[in-house]
């Protein structure tokens, strides 16, 4: 029994064509790029137009998932085949060939751990057990500035370290901290407790 296929028109049809266009790396399997190519646009005055395109792409991805899965089956990317290939990749090997006078005399096979690792990561990502790490940075790609309150104990330890600096030990004052800063901080904390 044949399944009845919904006829797509307008931007959804253009989105699906762009999303499945293997010749266009900007849109192939890229929901946001396909939304851009299909003519979707954020509403005027939107705070983040790129985010709006991402949402539109994601909505189309969810709505058109059955058609995308059908296309994947047609091009040989069925779920069963992908699983088989994933398992094959987990068993990847590389082969060393010994030669003598231009003839192969021996072949040795060894596990290809680099390839196996890649397939294991892919499998874990598909199962949701591995998430890509995101690097965070401060303004302009610089460090993130974190301000942490110093409690009495930390202030006392800092004062003790700076007060008891001995020759031969690393000079902690080279960190551009004032050696008396710990004492001043401790005094300020003590003064605050008395108020």
pLDDT at 168: 52
The pLDDT assigned to 178 comes to 47
Determine how many CB atoms are found less than 10 A away from the CB of residue 33. Answer: 19
pLDDT for 8 equals 78
SS3 138: coil
Tell me if the pTM is above 0.85. no
Backbone angles phi, psi at 111, to 5 degrees: -60, 135
3-state secondary structure of 111: strand
Residue stretches of the chain with pLDDT short of 70: 1-6, 133-135, 146-195
């Amino acid at each position: 029994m044949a399944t009845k296929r919904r006829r797509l028109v307008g931007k959804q049809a253009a989105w699906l064509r762009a999303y499945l266009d293997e010749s266009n790396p900007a849109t192939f399997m890229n929901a946001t790029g396909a939304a851009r190519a299909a003519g979707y646009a954020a509403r005027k005055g939107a705070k983040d137009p790129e985010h709006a395109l991402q949402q539109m792409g994601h909505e189309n991805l969810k709505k058109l998932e059955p058609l995308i899965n059908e296309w994947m089956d047609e091009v040989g990317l069925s779920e069963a085949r992908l699983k088989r290939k994933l398992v094959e990749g987990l068993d990847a090997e590389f082969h060393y060939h010994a030669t003598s006078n231009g003839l192969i005399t021996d072949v040795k096979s060894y596990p290809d751990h680099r390839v196996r690792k890649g397939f294991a990561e892919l499998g874990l990502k598909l199962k949701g057990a591995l998430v890509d790490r995101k690097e965070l940075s401060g303004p302009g790609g610089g460090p993130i500035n974190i301000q942490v309150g110093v409690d009495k104990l930390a202030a006392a330890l800092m004062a003790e370290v700076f007060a008891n600096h001995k020759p031969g030990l690393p000079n902690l004052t080279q960190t551009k901290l004032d050696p008396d800063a710990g004492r001043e901080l401790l005094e300020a904390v003590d003064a605050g407790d008395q108020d």
